[in-house]
Amino acid sequence: MKSYLDCVPCFVRQALDACRMITKDEKKIHELLRKVLVTIANANLDQPPPVIVSAMHRVIRQELDSPDPYLALKKKSTEKALLLAPEAEKTISKAENPFEAAIRFAIAGNILDFGAKTEWSETLVRDSFEKAMKVPIVDNQASELYSRISLAKTVLVLGDNAGEAVFDRLFINRFPGNARVLYAVKGSPVINDVTLADAKDAGLDTVAEIISNGTDIPGTHLPATSDEFRKIFYEADVIISKGQGNYETLLNCDRRVFCILQIKCESLAKRYGFSLGDWVVTITGKE
Amino acid sequence: MKSYLDCVPCFVRQALDACRMITKDEKKIHELLRKVLVTIANANLDQPPPVIVSAMHRVIRQELDSPDPYLALKKKSTEKALLLAPEAEKTISKAENPFEAAIRFAIAGNILDFGAKTEWSETLVRDSFEKAMKVPIVDNQASELYSRISLAKTVLVLGDNAGEAVFDRLFINRFPGNARVLYAVKGSPVINDVTLADAKDAGLDTVAEIISNGTDIPGTHLPATSDEFRKIFYEADVIISKGQGNYETLLNCDRRVFCILQIKCESLAKRYGFSLGDWVVTITGKE
């Protein structure tokens, strides 16, 4: 998808939130914001939002002289997610449909933006995870996905955030059949997106082969990914995309992609027939 | 007050809303937005938000090659407000405290942003005006204002938006005593702020002397106002400020100012002990 004019104020707000999360120095934040505004002014809106967001975060990393300003937050996210995982796994095991239950926790993991929280509230987390089994899933393609995985030789999972990856592991654990599973991470750090090191911390290497998509775009913008990644993308029998960034970059792509996400943007919701906050398991692209 | 970092994404959103209200050409809006982003990047945040907003709107007017892009919307606002005025006046007349009732409609006029509505809903308007008499007034300094006006020789009212000015007229009509009343408008068009022509359309010349503040800043930023205006400002016995733009520019000024407004910004609300959406009749500045 292209970026909309409505994305522009949202980019600026995201940049401010990002700066605030990684530094408390108001002067530094103002400096960063000025440069981000110019970056956004020069951006080509024919590109998907994650491509413009990646340009913003390149500026932020460069200005902070830090290759991974979210590193500490990502570590904390993963630690907290690891503490939550056993209870989630217990619920999944007891569920009538453990595969769908595992999808629900993979979405719940996306909701709990560990990186954004400075104070950890066990109650808040418990509430959110209790909600996980009750939220209606929109356009629920879980059983179609189950059938596809059963028959697949190769399944490619496109990861989203650190921390959340722990729940992707529980999900992959529930895959039927004997497919080879590949878990794609970002080629280098961007925001709190999962990288190779983060995925290992989350234990993804115990259930999948971790591969890089070769870019620092917080999505899967195929023209920017590596040749090696694209080969895997086009050869995989089943592709599962986690999160809105991957969804935005893969809408109308030339492969069938199962998208598991929470709708976090009003404009996107309106244009694609969802509501803000929807939990979605949908299919995009063609095959 | 200074601008906050939180103002920055809000400026961009306001600019987008503004562009959309005055043109439907998406390419033109994108071009405008790019230039506004650069203007905001270069802005000095030590200035109050209306000063930065005025710089944005100068860019928009220049790019659209239009000295008053909101003219048609302002005309419509005034027409609609004039239709509503008799009913409001009837309610004010019947009220236990007509002075406070008139203040309430002067705030209600600020809420109904006629300019923002493409479709006119009589029901919506009636509902809002019915609400006018029920909303609690925060820090209600109406009776203090009443006493001050009773004793005043000169009262200066700082206008806000076109349309809303019609209700300012009903309010001024309820002033006690025999004060000379001056109604300040913007020196030249900016957004839907009331100018000399708009104030005349609203009939303000029947209850007050209309004067210009000499600037195109959507507030009353004293350093930018004309010498003539500042003389009146410092000599008036009572100053009444309408709307958030005037409030933001006059916070901590060296005159006592009665501020009548609805709180439309979360950051401002937090910093000054209000809640978003509060109807306020407060005093700022010193004397």
A37 with B33: Cβ contact below 8 A:
no
Kindly report the nearest CA distance between residue A16 and chain B, in angstroms.
8
- Between CA A95 and CA A132 the distance in angstroms is 12
pLDDT digit string, tens, across residues A62-110: 998 899 999 988 998 899 899 999 999 999 999 999 999 999 999 998 8
Across the A:B interface, residue pairs with CB atoms under 8 Å apart total 55
End-to-end CA distance of chain A: 18
Residues of A in Cβ contact (< 8 Å) with B16: 5-6, 8-9
Instruction: Return the bridge partners of A286, or none.
Output: none
Q: By CA distance, what is B38's nearest residue in A?
A: A38
Mean pLDDT of B76-102: 94
| pLDDT of B175 above 80 | yes
- The whole-number pLDDT of residue A94 equals 96
B286 pLDDT band, cuts 50/70/90, is: confident
Mean pLDDT of A22-47: 94
ipTM comes to 0.84
Edge-to-edge order in the sheet of strand B257-262: B137-138, B279-284, B257-262, B238-242, B154-158, B180-185, B209-212
Mean per-residue pLDDT over chain A, rounded: 93
Which has more confidence, B149 or A128?
B149
- A243: left (phi > 0), else alpha (psi -120 to 50), else beta? left
DSSP string covering A168-227: HHHHHHT--TT-EEEEEE-SS--TTB--HHHHHHTTGGGTSEEEE-S--SSS--GGGS-H
* Cβ atoms B56, B33 nearer than 8 A: no
- The whole-number pLDDT of residue B48 equals 95
Helix axes A26-41, B7-22, angle to 10 degrees: 30
Q: For chain A, which residues lie within 8 Å of any Cβ of chain B, measuring from their own Cβ? A: 5-6, 8-10, 12-13, 16, 20, 26, 29-30, 33-35, 37-38, 40-42, 45
Instruction: Return the bridge partners of A261, or none.
Output: A280
Q: Is B107 exposed, middle or buried (0-12, 13-18, 19+ CB in 10 A)?
A: buried
Q: Which of A161, A196, A171, A140 is nearest to A50 (CA)?
A: A161
Of B9, B30, B40, the CB nearest to A5: B30
Strand runs labelled E in chain B: 137-138, 154-158, 180-185, 209-212, 238-242, 257-262, 279-284
- The whole-number pLDDT of residue A112 equals 67
Kindly report the nearest CA distance between residue A188 and chain B, in angstroms.
27
Mean pLDDT of A188-215: 97
- The whole-number pLDDT of residue A174 equals 98
| pLDDT of B115 above 60 | no
Q: By CA distance, what is A45's nearest residue in B?
A: B30
- Residue A281 sits at φ, ψ, to 5 deg, of -125, 95
Mutate to test the interface with B, among A7, A34, A36, A59 (most CBs of B within 10 A): A34
- The whole-number pLDDT of residue A111 equals 72
| pLDDT of A115 above 60 | no
- The whole-number pLDDT of residue A21 equals 83
Residues of A in Cβ contact (< 8 Å) with B41: 33-35, 37-38, 41
- Between CA B287 and CA B284 the distance in angstroms is 10
| pLDDT of B221 above 60 | yes
Mutate to test the interface with B, among A10, A37, A56 (most CBs of B within 10 A): A37
Mean pLDDT of B124-141: 86
- The whole-number pLDDT of residue B123 equals 72
Q: By CA distance, what is B43's nearest residue in A?
A: A34
A9 with B6: Cβ contact below 8 A:
no
B34 with A26: Cβ contact below 8 A:
no
Mean per-residue pLDDT over chain B, rounded: 93
**pLDDT-above-90 percentage for chain B:** 82
End-to-end CA distance of chain B: 18
pLDDT digit string, tens, across residues A258-275: 999 999 999 899 999 999
Q: By CA distance, what is A38's nearest residue in B?
A: B38
B8 with A37: Cβ contact below 8 A:
yes
B112 pLDDT band, cuts 50/70/90, is: low
B38 with A33: Cβ contact below 8 A:
no
Mean pLDDT of B170-185: 98
| pLDDT of B82 above 70 | yes
| pLDDT of B26 above 70 | yes
Q: Is B286 exposed, middle or buried (0-12, 13-18, 19+ CB in 10 A)?
A: exposed
B33 with A6: Cβ contact below 8 A:
no
| pLDDT of A119 above 70 | no
Kindly report the nearest CA distance between residue A220 and chain B, in angstroms.
25
Which has more confidence, B187 or A130?
B187
Mean pLDDT of B120-132: 73
- Between CA A96 and CA B4 the distance in angstroms is 51
A250 pLDDT band, cuts 50/70/90, is: very high
Residues of B in Cβ contact (< 8 Å) with A7: none
Residues of A in Cβ contact (< 8 Å) with B5: 16, 20, 26, 29-30, 33
Q: For chain B, which residues lie within 8 Å of any Cβ of chain A, measuring from their own Cβ? A: 5-6, 8-10, 12-13, 16, 20, 26, 29-30, 33-35, 37-38, 40-42, 45
